[in-house]
Copies of this chain bind each other. A is one copy, B any other.
Amino acid sequence: MSDCAQCVVRNRAICSGLSPEELLALGQKGRKQTVKRGQTLVWEGDDSLVVANVISGVLKLSVSTADGREQIVGIVFPSDFIGRPFGKESPYSVTALSDAEVCVFHRSTFDQFAREHPELQHKLLQRTLIELDEARQWMMLLGKKTAEERIATLLIRISERLSADGCTGPLLNLDEFELPMDRQQMADILGLTIETVSRQLTRIKSSGVIALPDRRRVVIHDRQALLDLAEAA
């Protein structure tokens, strides 16, 4: 792989904290790969052969029932880690929502390297714990929140995540951004239908809290009001 020391996600991905020598050693085991929008990198139930860091783009993690219902169980942004280390089957699919670049490793190679480098393993643990916390917050949303609360929560979360991505500071709370997904995908994240998503967005727009200049663009006019709509964090 090309020079990890120059990597744009160098300071935020799990590789941060590795010594220059370790970074080099890990870098030699990985390779950069581009993924086209819509392309699936890992299939649910398949042998988990690769893990990766996201360099650019946005991907979804999803699980499906036998009869085709799909639930998106995670959205992955640049600097996030994807794949299931230390386990032979992937419990979900990983699919690109936009064109993306990832830095891929063979799972077994990565597993071995991680076991030999406690600092890397620690980073991975920290990240997994955070993901678990987030998954549990989302369980609350899916189990107990109304459609309007769900939409408001999603908009807040995406705006936070996208602004954190700028990496210029803690959180500057982007008030205008591009949705990295279409309406159907929003519905699959929120446990709703596309029609309900559409209706609730129009409702919130009509109240003046947000504007929707085009399909993908969102402008938050009154963040506090949106937070109130989202209820508890």
Show the binding face of A for B, using Cβ within 8 Å. Answer: 61, 63-67, 69-71, 73-74, 84-87, 91-92, 115, 118, 121-122, 124-126, 128-133, 135-140, 142-145, 188, 190-191, 231-232
Contacts and interface: CB of A to CB of B under 8 A. Distances in A.
B144 A143 contact: no
Give this chain's copy count: 2
A133 B231 contact: no
Given A115-B122, A142-B142, A133 B64 contact: no
19 contacts: A63-B139, A65-B140, A65-B231, A65-B232, A67-B232, A70-B144, A71-B143, A71-B144, A73-B136, A86-B125, A87-B133, A91-B136, A91-B137, A115-B122, A128-B128, A132-B132, A139-B142, A142-B142, A142-B191
Contacts of A231: 65-67
Contacts of A144: 65, 69-71, 191
